Chain A
Amino acid sequence: MNYHILNKDGLDGFIKELSKQMKVYAPVSRGHGNFAFEEVSSGAQVALKYIPTILPPKKYLMPQRETMLEFDIKGERPEDTALLEAEEIALFGVHTCDLAGIQCLNMVFSERPRDYNYLLRKEKVFIIGLECNAYCDEHASCALVGNQLPNGGYDLFFTELGERFIIHVNTQKGEDLLEGMGLPKALPADISELARAREGKKSVFKNEIGVEPGKLPEIFEKAMNSKVWEELGKRCISCGNCTNVCPTCYCFDMADTVNLDLKTGVRTRTWDSCQFETFAAVSGGENFRPERAARQRHRFYRKFKFSPDKFYRFFCTGCGRCTRTCMAKINLKETLRALAAESK
């Protein structure tokens, strides 16, 4: 186990030094209690205390809009060139819920056929995690899914200990960076302090819905015809906010656009959402999920049933974004509690 120490007043120097090597993105206040990952070049810009950002850091791994290829149909044979826009970047201050989100996406995009745009871009992203020593707000449910603690998925991981950060080094890239900056190694006393801090978190973070997480797939097994979905369907706007802000939602749409010469063009992929009216519509006019209730149900099953069946883990990271962003007050914790109560 390798740990280093950074005094808090050294954070500014750390960000400045890092931003000389690559672009650094960190949570920044947007006002009205909102935060977003944005490019920073000094410590002062970084919001160390922040509730999950409007969009999760997945936007750096699978951009909202991405050009996949250029095509040209001028000649006898159509031609195309695959594109990958990616540069070395660092993400600073990624909470454990969002680290879990990236781990989920890694699993999805590593499946065959592999998504090379995602995987190659991910190689260029240097990830620095940041521990939450307390809840961000009442909408989080990270303890339910075990994401209140770090479970890997980073190069470096910062934990605040009073006036200092103790930094866990998880990769050689991370070690090289800290060595290059000459940050001192942590002493055994620092590591004991970290252990005490983690022990202290046990009394802060508690299963938020009072249902054993292991029981959730079973609860969902029985919930296909639950009235809960009708309730959600009545309120849902179908705006797709809940899936756009979700750190594990990865559905996308592809479209070809021609240029004005009508011969050349590009293929673009854009985030899509299972909540949109048109998502499950196919040619011929059939729509497999025309009702809002069925679409909301689908979203919950993608987080708590289909994903454990396929990937052996929940695709809800407990970040609480879907609840925060819903203008019609659809609440994840309340929904899970209602389903659990019904299944008794």
Chain B
Amino acid sequence: MTKKNVSNKPKAAFFDFACCEGCQLQVANLGEALLDILGAIDVVEFREVMSEKWDKDYDVAIVEGSITDHHAEERIKKIRARSRVLIAYGACAAIGGVNGMKNSFDLDEIRRSVYGKDYKLFDSTPTRAIHQVVKVDYTVNGCPVYPPELLEVIKCALRGLAYTVPDKPVCSECKLNENVCMYERGVACLGPWTKAGCNSWCVNNGNICYGCRGLVSRPASGAAEEVIMKYNLKPELIKNKFDMYNKCGEAEAKGGK
């Protein structure tokens, strides 16, 4: 391949905000598909794996993490200004994720509990998903992201096509995989209210759905009562499970492009 061809490939960069960087690690877990991706794009910044920086614009910015202080807000705005396409990557970026749990408390109270009496020295704002701060073109949901979906979103971004996050519950995929329903096993699961697109990854592996992809746009509120009654559950149990990922207000209802 000539040098000219290499430089013609779209320039992609990874960035992280408040997150565990686990979703970026999923890139490494792609295996063979990673080689194909690297054949289609040039990765110009990726703190986890390289020290080089890029001083021009990005064709694709892949952003992990949520916005939790003023400095992060300024930084994401600068990244947005330099990026043709911005992908919110992983639950923290897409819906606020576990960082959103902060929003359940009074901000100063939670700062004091974390940083002690000098908490005012440490800046903090209520947690926001990326699209609550800057425009997002594509969203890859999940904690961590589901690698086949990441691949689909990258292909759509490269081709300039829209990627539609399925707006139906995880059950729709779980049933096609013929899993025994978690409720039948006597365990509460958030599948009925959570957006599909992960191919019921967790339930296929014996776990419940924790709602990491956010709620469908019109979650069935009336149904929750029926489900709680049928399976003899405590309403708080289900509510607490929702709070783990879904505390960033209207963030959950928004998809990508």
Interface residues of A (CB under 8 A from B): 30-34, 36, 54-55, 59, 64-65, 234-241, 244-245, 257-262, 270-271, 273, 276-278, 292, 325, 327-329
Partner of A54, one of B167, B178, B183, B227: B178
Cross-chain contact B223 with A237 (CB below 8 angstroms): yes
A33-B184, A325-B175 known; A277 vs B155 contact (CB < 8 Å)? no
Q: A54-B178, A237-B171, A271-B176 are in contact. Are A292 and B184 (CB under 8 A)?
A: no
Since A239-B175, A239-B191 are in contact, a sample of 13 more A-B pairs with Cβ atoms closer than 8 Å, ordered by chain A residue number, is A30-B180, A32-B184, A32-B185, A237-B171, A238-B218, A239-B192, A240-B169, A244-B176, A257-B152, A258-B159, A276-B172, A277-B167, A277-B218
The answer to whether B175 touches A55 (Cβ under 8 A) is yes
Closest residue of chain A to B171 (Cβ to Cβ) is: A239
A275 to chain B, nearest CB (A): 9
Do the beta carbons of B168 and A276 come within 8 Å of each other?
yes
Q: Give 1 or 0 for each of B171-197: 1 = CB within 8 Å of chain A CB.
A: 110011111110111000001110000
Q: Are B169 and A237 in contact (CB under 8 A)?
A: yes
Q: Which of B154, B178, B218 contacts A55 (CB 8 A)?
A: B178
Per-position 1/0 for B204-230, Cβ under 8 A of A: 000000000000111010110011011
B33, B39, B172: most-surrounded residue (chain A CB, <10 A): B172
Is the pair A240, B223 in contact by a Cβ cutoff of 8 Å?
no
12 pairs, A vs B, C-beta closer than 8 Å: A32-B184, A32-B185, A34-B181, A54-B179, A54-B180, A236-B223, A237-B171, A239-B175, A276-B168, A277-B167, A327-B181, A327-B183
Residue of A nearest to B193 (CB): A237
In the bound complex, residues from chain B placing their C-beta under 8 Å from that of A59 are 178
* Pairwise interchain contact A277-B168, C-beta atoms closer than 8 A: yes
Chain B: how many interface residues by the 8 Å CB criterion? 40
**CB <8 Å contact, A241 and B180:** no
Chain B residues with a Cβ under 8 A of chain A? 33, 36-37, 39-40, 151-152, 154-155, 158-159, 167-169, 171-172, 175-181, 183-185, 191-193, 216-218, 220, 222-223, 226-227, 229-231
Name the A residues within 8 Å of B193 (CB-CB). Answer: 237
Chain B, Cβ-Cβ closest to A278: B167
The answer on a CB contact under 8 Å between B178 and A36 is yes
Give chain A residues whose Cβ lies under 8 Å from the Cβ of B168: 238-240, 273, 276-278
**Contact in complex: A262, B158 (CB < 8 Å):** yes
**Contact in complex: A64, B176 (CB < 8 Å):** yes
Q: How distant is the Cα of A209 from the Cα of B218 in the complex, in angstroms?
A: 34
Chain A neighbourhood of B178, CB < 8 A: 36, 54-55, 59
Q: A239-B172, A241-B175, A327-B183 given as contacts; is B155 within 8 A of A258 (CB)?
A: yes
In the complex with contacts A32-B185, A235-B222, A260-B39, A328-B169 CB distance below 8 A:
no
**Nearest chain A CB to B222 CB, angstrom units:** 4
Contact of B180 among A34, A235, A258, A273 (CB under 8 A): A34
Chain B residues closer than 8 Å to A239, beta-carbon distance: 168-169, 171-172, 175, 191-192
Residue contact B184 to A34, C-beta cutoff 8 Å: yes
CB-nearest residue of chain A to B191 = A239
Q: Point out the residues of chain B lying under 8 angstroms from A270, CB to CB.
A: 176
Q: Given A33-B184, A239-B192, A260-B155: A327 and B172 within 8 A (CB)?
A: no
Partner of B171, one of A234, A241, A260: A241
Smallest beta-carbon distance A269→chain B, Å? 12
Most buried by B among A31, A55, A241: A241
Taking the closest CB of chain A, its distance from the CB of B40, in whole angstroms, is: 5
Task: Please report the C-alpha to C-alpha distance between residue A262 and residue B184 in the assembled complex, in whole angstroms.
Answer: 43
- Chain B neighbourhood of A271, CB < 8 A: 176
Judging by beta carbons under 8 Å apart, are B180 and A327 in contact?
no
Residues of chain A contacted by B36 (CB below 8 angstroms): 260
Q: Min CB distance, A138 to chain B, in Å?
A: 15
Residue of B nearest to A281 (CB): B167
A276 to B176, CA, bound (A): 14
Which residue of B has the minimal Cβ distance to A244?
B175
Contacting A240 at CB < 8 Å: which of B155, B171, B180?
Answer: B171
Select A328's contact among B152, B175, B184, B223, beta carbons within 8 Å. B223
The answer on a CB contact under 8 Å between B223 and A327 is yes
Closest to A34 in B: B180
* Nearest CB in chain A: distance from B196 CB, A: 9
Contact B223 A277 (CB under 8 A): no
Chain B residues closer than 8 Å to A277, beta-carbon distance: 167-168, 216-218
Residues of B within 8 A of A238 (CB): 168-169, 216, 218, 220
The distance in angstroms between the C-alpha atoms of A30 and B171, with both chains bound, is 18
CB contacts (< 8 Å) of A259 on chain B: these are 155
A55 to chain B, nearest CB (A): 5
Given A239-B172, A260-B36, A277-B168, do A328 and B180 touch, yes or no (CB 8 Å)? Answer: no
Tell me the smallest distance from the CB of A27 to a CB of chain B, in Å.
12
Q: How far is the CB of A244 from the nearest CB of chain B, in Å?
A: 4
CB-CB under 8 A from A55, the residues of chain B are: 175-176, 178
Complex Cα gap A240–B174 (Å): 10
Bound CA span A89–B250, Å: 49
Q: Do the beta carbons of A54 and B175 come within 8 Å of each other?
A: yes
Q: Which of B37, B159, B167, B180 contacts A262 (CB 8 A)?
A: B159
| Max chain B C-beta neighbours (<10 A), residue from A236, A273, A278, A327 | A327
| Residues of chain B lying within 8 A (CB to CB) of residue A262 | 40, 155, 158-159
Q: How far is the CA of A31 from the CA of B39 in the complex (A)?
A: 46
Chain A residues near B181 (CB-CB < 8 A): 34, 325, 327
